C-alpha cells in the first residue's frame, strides 16, 4: 500500500501541505460544475428557502468534516494513499464494488464539468458547446499527465484565486443586491422537510472526494494531523458555497429554475470585467475538480503496478476517460446529469463507503480498548 509517487526524500512537509492541502484538494473535487455554477446549490439547498438552505449547508459541512477526518486518519494509519488500497482495508475483496461506483462517479462528474465548460464558452463568447468542453479536457489531460506535484500546485494556486474572486463577488453583490438579500432573510422562516434531506444527499455523494484526494495525504505522517486536516476540510470546501448561496437568495425563488445561476447573477451585476473573471474562475474550478478525479484513478493504477506511471501512460489513460465523458456531456446535458445521477450515487456511496468506514472505525476502537485493558 505504498505511495506510488513518494514525497521527495529529505524535504520536510510544510504546514500548508499537512493541514491545508488536503482541504484545498477536497474543495477542488467537490466544487465542480454544479457547485461552481450554482446548479447544485439550486438543486439541493434553495428548495428549503433562505434559512433552511443555510441549515442544509451546515449539515453538509459537518458531515464532510467528520467523514474527511475519519478517512484521512485511517488512510494515514494504514498508509493507504490510493482508493484501492483504502477500500481493501475497510471492505476487503469488496473493494471492486467501489471501483465500479467510482468510475461511474468520474464519468458523471466529468460529463457535468464538460457540459458546464461548454455552457461557459457559449455564454461568454458564443462558441459551440463542444469548444469549451474540449478546452477543459485538454487542461485536465495536461495537469494529470505530470502527476502529484503538478496537481498539488494546481490545487494551491487555483484555490487562492478562487477564494479571492468569491470574496469580491460577495462584496459586489452586497453593494448591488444587499437590500434584496436582507429582505429574503427577513421573512419568517418556514419549516421545510427538504433541508435535512438536501444537506445529507449533497454531502453523501460528495464525500467520495475524501477518497479521491488520498494521494495528497502523503505529506502527513501522524493520524492526529490527519484528523485536524479532515476537520478543516469541511469549512474550506463550503465557504464559497455559502457566499454563492447568500448571493443567490437575492433572486429567490426564480433562480431555482435558471439554466445557469451564475450567469443570471453576473448579468444582473452588469460588470463585464468581473463577469469574465468569475466565469474564468469557474472554468479553473472545473479544471481542478476534473483533474483531481482523474488523478485518483492514475494513482490507483500506479499503486497496483507498484511503479510510477510514465507521462505517456498517464496521458493515454486520461485521454480515454475524457473522451467517454465528453460523449456523455454532449448527449445528456448538465441539468439532467445532476438531477438524475447524483442521488443514485449518494445511495451507492453511503452503502459502499460510509457504512463500511463507520464499521472500520468501530472495530478500531474496540481493538484499541482491548489492547488498553491488557496493558
State how far Cα 194 lies from the chain centre.
22
Q: What are phi and psi of 47, to 5 degrees?
A: -60, -20
What is the C-alpha separation between 146 and 123, in angstroms, rounded? 31
DSSP code string of 94-144: GHHHHHHHHHHHHHHHHHHHHHHHHHHHHHHH---HHHHHHHHHHHHHHHH
What is the C-alpha separation between 216 and 148, in angstroms, rounded? 8
> Where residue 195 sits, what CATH number does that domain have?
1.20.1740.10
DSSP 8-state symbol, 354: I
> Mean pLDDT lowest for which of 47-51, 142-146, 324-328?
324-328
What is the C-alpha separation between 258 and 133, in angstroms, rounded? 21
pLDDT digits (tens, 9 = 90+) for 294-314: 999 999 888 888 777 888 889
Flag whether 221 is in a domain.
yes
Task: Tell whether the model's pLDDT for residue 371 goes beyond 70.
Answer: no
Tally of structural domains, the chain: 1
Flag whether 143 is in a domain.
yes
Radius of gyration of the chain (CA): 20
Phi/psi region, residue 26 (left: phi>0; alpha: psi -120 to 50; beta: rest), is alpha
Strands (E), the chain: none
Yes or no: say if 48 and 248 are a contact pair by the CB < 8 Å rule.
no
Domain range enclosing 95: 15-368
Cβ count near 123 (within 10 Å): 18
pTM score: 0.87
Residue 2 pLDDT: 41
Widest pairwise Cα distance in the chain:
70
Of 83, 59, 106, which Cα lies nearest the Cα of 202? 59
H/E stretch holding 279 reads: helix 272-305
Is residue 12 packed enough to be buried (19+ CB in 10 Å), middle (13-18) or exposed (0-12)?
exposed
Flag whether 173 is in a domain.
yes
What is the C-alpha separation between 223 and 226, in angstroms, rounded? 5
pLDDT digits (tens, 9 = 90+) for 134-184: 899 999 999 999 988 999 999 999 999 999 999 999 999 999 999 999 999
The label of the residue with cell 477500500 reads 87
pLDDT digits (tens, 9 = 90+) for 210-262: 999 999 999 998 889 999 999 999 999 999 999 999 999 999 999 988 877 88
For residue 48, give the C-alpha cell.
Answer: 428549503
> Mean pLDDT lowest for which of 51-55, 118-122, 138-142, 262-266?
118-122
Flag whether 9 is in a domain.
no
Flag whether 1 is in a domain.
no
Amino acid at each position: 500500500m505504498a505511495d506510488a509517487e513518494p514525497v521527495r526524500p529529505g524535504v520536510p512537509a510544510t504546514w500548508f501541505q499537512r493541514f491545508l492541502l488536503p482541504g484545498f484538494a477536497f474543495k477542488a473535487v467537490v466544487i465542480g460544475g454544479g457547485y461552481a455554477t450554482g446548479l447544485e446549490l439550486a438543486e439541493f439547498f434553495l428548495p428549503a428557502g433562505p434559512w433552511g438552505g443555510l441549515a442544509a449547508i451546515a449539515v453538509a459541512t459537518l458531515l464532510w468534516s467528520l467523514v474527511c477526518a475519519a478517512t484521512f486518519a485511517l488512510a494515514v494509519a494504514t498508509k493507504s494513499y490510493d482508493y484501492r488500497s483504502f477500500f481493501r482495508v475497510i471492505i476487503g475483496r469488496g473493494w471492486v464494488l467501489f471501483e465500479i461506483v467510482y468510475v461511474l462517479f468520474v464519468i458523471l462528474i466529468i460529463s457535468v464539468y464538460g457540459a458546464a465548460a461548454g455552457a461557459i464558452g457559449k455564454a461568454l463568447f458564443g462558441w459551440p458547446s463542444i469548444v469549451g468542453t474540449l478546452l477543459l479536457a485538454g487542461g485536465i489531460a495536461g495537469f494529470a499527465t505530470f502527476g502529484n506535484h503538478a496537481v498539488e500546485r494546481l490545487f494551491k494556486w487555483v484555490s487562492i484565486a478562487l477564494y479571492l474572486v468569491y470574496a469580491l463577488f460577495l462584496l459586489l453583490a452586497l453593494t448591488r443586491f444587499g437590500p434584496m438579500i436582507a429582505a429574503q432573510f427577513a421573512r419568517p422562516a418556514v419549516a421545510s422537510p427538504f433541508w435535512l434531506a438536501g444537506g445529507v444527499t449533497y454531502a453523501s455523494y460528495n464525500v467520495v472526494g475524501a477518497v479521491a484526494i488520498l494521494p495528497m495525504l502523503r505529506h502527513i505522517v501522524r493520524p492526529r494531523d490527519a484528523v485536524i486536516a479532515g476537520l478543516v476540510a469541511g469549512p474550506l470546501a463550503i465557504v464559497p458555497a455559502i457566499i454563492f448561496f447568500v448571493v443567490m437568495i437575492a433572486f429567490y425563488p426564480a433562480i431555482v429554475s435558471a439554466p445557469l445561476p451564475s450567469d443570471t447573477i453576473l448579468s444582473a451585476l452588469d460588470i463585464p470585467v468581473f463577469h469574465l473573471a468569475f466565469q474564468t474562475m469557474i472554468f479553473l474550478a472545473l479544471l481542478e475538480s476534473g483533474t483531481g478525479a482523474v488523478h485518483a484513478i492514475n494513482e490507483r493504477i500506479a499503486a497496483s503496478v507498484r511503479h510510477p506511471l510514465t507521462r505517456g501512460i498517464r496521458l493515454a489513460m486520461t485521454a480515454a476517460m475524457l473522451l467517454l465523458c465528453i460523449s456523455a456531456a454532449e448527449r445528456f446535458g448538465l441539468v439532467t446529469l445532476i438531477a438524475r445521477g447524483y442521488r443514485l450515487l449518494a445511495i451507492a456511496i453511503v452503502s459502499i463507503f460510509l457504512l463500511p468506514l463507520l464499521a472500520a472505525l468501530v472495530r478500531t476502537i474496540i481493538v484499541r480498548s482491548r489492547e488498553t485493558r491488557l496493558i
